[in-house]
Amino acid sequence: MKTSLFISLVLTTILCPTLLAQDEAKESGLPKVLIIGDSISMAFTPHVARQLDDKAAVMHNKGNAQHTGTGLEKLDQWVGDTHWDVIHFNWGLWDLCYRHPESKVQGRRDKVNGTITTTLEQYEENLDELVSRLEKTGAKLVWANTTVVPEDEAGRVLGDDAKYNEAAARVMDRHGILINDLHSLTKTFAADHFDGPGNVHYTQEGYRKIGQQVTDHILRALESEQKVSGDEK
């Protein structure tokens, strides 16, 4: 199944009714969780929301968070005036992608003739600013590092995922942010967990496994937050 169709079906059949249930959960006083990220996070969010149905109200930012430049522009809009208990966030695959206006490949990806979306140096600088702004929300923050770039990906260079993750790790270390290592997880995936050769997207089973690890990290963050709140009483 094509990635775009799969994501559309997932969001239609799972996310919408789940979020309606989560809206009801918000009114019951459950902790609030915001997931920020690209299409990969859009696809695993329903799995997370379902697993946390009676433990937290899970929301995803409106639309696709794309790259860090988009994040800088829209972060305030996504966060809004909600008091979030946990924010799980990621940028990267869009940042390290090369695109060319004349490319016929989906997303105009072209790692041979294209231009990179965000340089490594700018990526680290943008992330530092984004984390500083997220810290002001008072939420417990969880960074998800970038998932693996497979061989023969049309717009992404093999190995750049590791370089961008190293830059992100420096930022998270400076700010003391918990890292959810999705790169190591997806690096272990068999070919049948990917949506096709050279595709950075996953099958439903792949997203289920990613969603499980995201859920585990969010629960850990919630427990940490509740412990701190308890100690302050």
pLDDT digits (tens, 9 = 90+) for 140-191: 999 999 999 999 999 999 999 999 999 999 999 999 999 999 999 999 999 9
Please compute the mean of the pLDDT values over residues 27-54 and round it to a whole number: 94
- pLDDT at residue 217 in the model: 98
- pLDDT at residue 111 in the model: 98
- pLDDT at residue 12 in the model: 46
Residue type (1 letter), 190: A
Q: Decide if pLDDT at 201 tops 90.
A: yes
Mean pLDDT of the chain: 90
Residue 4's pLDDT band, with cuts at 50, 70 and 90, is: very low
- pLDDT at residue 229 in the model: 56
| pLDDT tens-digit readout, 65-102 | 999 999 999 999 999 999 999 999 999 999 999 999 99
Spatial neighbors of 133 by CB under 8 A, at least 6 apart, are: 75, 76
Q: If you search the block for the tokens 């990969």, which residue do you land on?
A: 40
- pLDDT at residue 95 in the model: 98
- pLDDT at residue 224 in the model: 84
Q: Decide if pLDDT at 2 tops 50.
A: no
What percentage of the chain has pLDDT greater than the value 90?
83
Q: Decide if pLDDT at 42 tops 50.
A: yes
Q: Decide if pLDDT at 5 tops 80.
A: no
Least Cα distance to 35 among 194, 142, 178 occurs for 142
Least Cα distance to 203 among 91, 66, 44, 61 occurs for 44
**Residue 122: exposed, middle, or buried by beta-carbon count in 10 A (0-12, 13-18, 19+)?**
middle
Residue 20's pLDDT band, with cuts at 50, 70 and 90, is: very low
End-to-end CA distance of the chain: 51
